[in-house]
């Protein structure tokens, strides 16, 4: 197979992942209501991805109110959604080629904050093309969000998507910065504005339910070794959930792997208690005169 054929196959898999993801995102958002369980909606979406021919690229994120990212259901999670601002962040891969998307479902009565993130993304997509610097896209996002009277979350960014890599260069800021990376035709990039009623900086919370492989290693404990085999063979370098592990005590296995710096966790990222955060995200393929949005039906 020639390099041209390989490139064409790569983009077709990105597009296939995006098409599956767009359908699952919309269906999951429609299912979400007060009383929906975190674990219920997460397992439904992940199963639906597989049913449509993809694989989850990372555990479904269910982040509410002041949480911006990395909220996720645990193995026996009994939490349910209340009258809250809910962010669903979902990913799909086909043979390691990724698509990443997010939507805010507002059950809290703060539609304008959701709209700020939605319109910031639309404006950013209009600005994307080869030769544009990422700082210019950040300026567009910041202008829209501040126009609604909110702040962008400045220490979270959009990002490139690689093969079996969820976060690669270039980073796409949510505020104006001098210069930045210059977008090139053919890059696959996730753009994800976050709008907040808070100061615009998120910090790590105390909980984590999402993990990924940090390095290769060996462990003596049988369950930890079994978990590591599954991680390296099935998830590779992509994030995974404790509840995905086929061992009787996933928490214990992960603790041992973390102690040896073989895996690392992703703590929930959150604004100050009492503030709200909204999010919207699409994946695009950059073209010479614009972009192709792979996660839009």
Binding-site positions for substrate read 70, 167
Residue 228: alpha-carbon gap to chain centroid:
23
Q: How far apart (Å, rounded) are the C-alpha atoms in residues 115 and 80?
A: 24
Catalytic residue check, 122:
no
Torsion angle defined by CA atoms of residues 162, 18, 227 and 41, in that order, rounded to the nearest 10 degrees: 140
Query: Could you tell me whether strands 158-162 and 165-172 are parallel, antiparallel, or unpaired per DSSP bridges?
Result: antiparallel
Choosing from 122, 167, 214, 292, which is the catalytic residue? 167
Choosing from 89, 106, 119, 209, which is the catalytic residue? 89
Q: Which residues belong to the annotated binding site?
A: 70, 89, 100, 159, 167, 192, 281
- Sequence-ordered list of residues with C-beta below 8 angstroms from that of 255, at least 6 positions apart, any chain: none
Catalytic residue check, 264:
no
Choosing from 119, 159, 208, 271, which is the catalytic residue? 159
Choosing from 16, 46, 65, 100, which is the catalytic residue? 100
141 contacts 171 by C-beta, under 8 angstroms: no
Catalytic residue check, 89:
yes
Choosing from 19, 118, 209, 281, which is the catalytic residue? 281
Catalytic residue check, 159:
yes
Q: How far apart (Å, rounded) are the C-alpha atoms in residues 166 and 155?
A: 17
Choosing from 192, 208, 209, 271, which is the catalytic residue? 192
- Sequence-ordered list of residues with C-beta below 8 angstroms from that of 166, at least 6 positions apart, any chain: 57, 58, 91, 98, 100, 159, 238, 239
φ/ψ of residue 68, rounded to 5: -100, -40
Q: Which residues belong to the annotated binding site for a divalent metal cation?
A: 89, 100, 159, 192, 281
Catalytic residue numbers, as ranges: 89, 100, 159, 167, 192, 281
């Amino acid at each position: 197979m020639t390099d041209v054929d390989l490139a064409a196959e790569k983009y077709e898999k990105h597009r296939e992942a995006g098409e599956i993801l767009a359908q699952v995102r919309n269906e999951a958002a429609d299912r979400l209501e007060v009383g929906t369980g975190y674990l219920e909606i997460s397992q439904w979406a992940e199963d639906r991805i597989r049913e449509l021919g993809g694989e989850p690229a990372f555990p479904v994120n269910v982040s509410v109110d002041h949480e911006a990212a990395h909220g996720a259901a645990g193995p026996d999670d009994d939490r349910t959604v209340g009258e809250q601002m809910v962010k669903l962040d979902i990913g799909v891969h086909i043979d390691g080629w990724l698509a990443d998307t997010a939507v805010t479902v507002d059950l809290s009565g703060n539609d304008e904050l959701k709209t700020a993130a939605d319109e910031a993304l639309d404006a950013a997509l209009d600005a994307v093309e080869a030769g544009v610097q990422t700082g210019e896209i950040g300026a567009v996002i910041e202008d829209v969000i501040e126009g609604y009277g909110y702040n962008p979350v400045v220490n979270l960014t959009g990002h490139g998507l690689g093969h079996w890599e969820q976060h690669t260069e270039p980073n796409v800021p949510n505020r104006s910065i001098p210069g930045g990376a210059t977008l090139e035709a053919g890059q696959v990039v996730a753009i994800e504005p976050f709008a907040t009623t808070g100061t615009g900086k998120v910090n790590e919370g105390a909980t984590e339910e999402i993990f990924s492989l940090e390095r290769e290693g060996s462990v003596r404990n049988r369950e930890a070794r079994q978990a590591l085999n599954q991680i390296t063979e099935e998830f590779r370098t992509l994030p995974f959930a404790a509840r995905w592990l086929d061992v009787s005590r996933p928490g214990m296995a992960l603790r041992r792997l973390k102690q040896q710096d073989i895996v690392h966790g992703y703590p929930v990222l959150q604004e100050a208690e009492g503030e709200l955060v909204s999010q919207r995200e699409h994946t695009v393929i950059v073209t010479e005169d614009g972009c192709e949005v792979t996660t839009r039906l």
